[in-house]
Amino acid sequence: PLVSTQQIVDSARARGVGVGAFNVITLEHAEAIVAGAEQAGTPVILQISENAVKFHGGRLAPIAAAAAAVAGAAAVPVSLHLDHVENTELLYQAADAGMSSVMFDASKLDYQANVAATRAAADWAHERGLHLEAELGEVGGKDGAHAPGVRTDPAEAAAFVAATGVDALAVAVGSSHAMTTRTARLDHDLIVKLREAVPVPLVLHGSSGVADDELSAAVRAGIVKVNIGTILNVAFTGAVRETLREPSLVDPRKYLAPARTRMTAVVRHMLTVLTSDDAG
């Protein structure tokens, strides 16, 4: 069933496990992510990024409606999240599109401007019962360049959460967006310090570049929401590429079906890593 992100995050935190938040670009992504969660027997968050909305001609409603329909039919709890929103016009569409949470990304701004923009976004979200995630200490790589050296300072994080009223905080602890190898090293001591300093759940972005044991350790240290995108596309596109070696193939279902199946297996695996006893 479709539930709220707050519910899923609260329950993961209470159980001491991580929750996977996977990026949806196409209908097949939503289907694969939910199928993987059903196989793992865990809740999952479907997230649609501002970049994915741009891909769909700037329209959130169609892909959000598709994701909501897939979530509603799921055998496990599924929530809808709007990811990496920089444009406030898109933020204002979140509730109508059925999202229960938004990541508002003012991380490129300097500290004071980030606080002011995030405070306004959080106030808006809370008036509508939405959960708001923000980012402090830019997790690099969204525009191609990795910036694994950036770190979130615990004292600044505590002040930021107090000043903005956000419900979850994305932190820079060594991961970087859009990595296609799982070689990022996380600063686990820093995660512990951030967890102790910050009252709200911590979010790890750029998790595709983080190996299984590093992810388990990050959850043990205090990460709750784990954002995963690229690794799904590596699996999906790899399967498409293999299938398309057959030049007579024209029906898209012939390559989308194995790609979706390959993606499902990755989702199931990642969710198992995030929720295993090792991580508890």
Binding site, annotated residues: 84, 105, 135, 177, 205
Phi/psi at 2 (5° precision): -80, 125
**Interaction of residue 205 with Zn ion, rule CB under 5 A:** yes
**Interaction of residue 29 with ligand G3H, rule CB under 6 A:** no
* Nearer residue to Zn ion within complex by CB, 51 or 261: 51
Min CB(209)–Zn ion separation in Å: 11
Catalytic residue (one of 83, 153, 167, 187): 83
Residue 213 is among the residues annotated as catalytic for this protein = no
- Distance (Å, whole) CA 7 – CA 211: 27
Count, residues in the chain: 280
**Interaction of residue 193 with Zn ion, rule CB under 5 A:** no
Neighbours of 262 (CB within 10 A): 20
* Nearer residue to ligand G3H within complex by CB, 148 or 209: 209
Residue 192, burial from CB neighbour count under 10 angstroms (0-12, 13-18, 19+): middle
* Nearer residue to ligand G3H within complex by CB, 79 or 227: 227
Min CB(49)–Zn ion separation in Å: 8
* Nearer residue to Zn ion within complex by CB, 29 or 205: 205
Phi/psi at 172 (5° precision): -95, 110
On whether the CB atoms of residues 195 and 222 are closer than 8 A, the answer is yes
Strands 44-49 and 19-23: parallel
Q: How many residues at the interface with ligand G3H, by CB under 6 A? A: 16
From the list Zn ion, ligand G3H, none, which binds 232 (C-beta under 5 to 8 Å, kind-based)?
none
2, 29, 43, 176 from 78: Cα distances, Å: 5, 14, 6, 26
**Interaction of residue 216 with ligand G3H, rule CB under 6 A:** no
Quote the crossing angle between the two packed helices 230-243 and 27-40, to the nearest 10°. 110
- Distance (Å, whole) CA 9 – CA 19: 7
Q: How many residues at the interface with Zn ion, by CB under 5 A? A: 2
- Distance (Å, whole) CA 202 – CA 222: 7
From the list Zn ion, ligand G3H, none, which binds 178 (C-beta under 5 to 8 Å, kind-based)?
ligand G3H
**Interaction of residue 225 with Zn ion, rule CB under 5 A:** no
Phi/psi at 43 (5° precision): -65, 165
Binding site, annotated residues for Zn(2+): 84, 105, 135, 177, 205
Among 31, 83, 133, 138, binds ligand G3H (CB under 6 A): 83
Q: Which residues bind Zn ion (CB under 5 A)?
A: 205, 227
Q: Which residues bind ligand G3H (CB under 6 A)?
A: 23, 83-84, 177-179, 205-209, 227-231
Residues labelled catalytic: 83
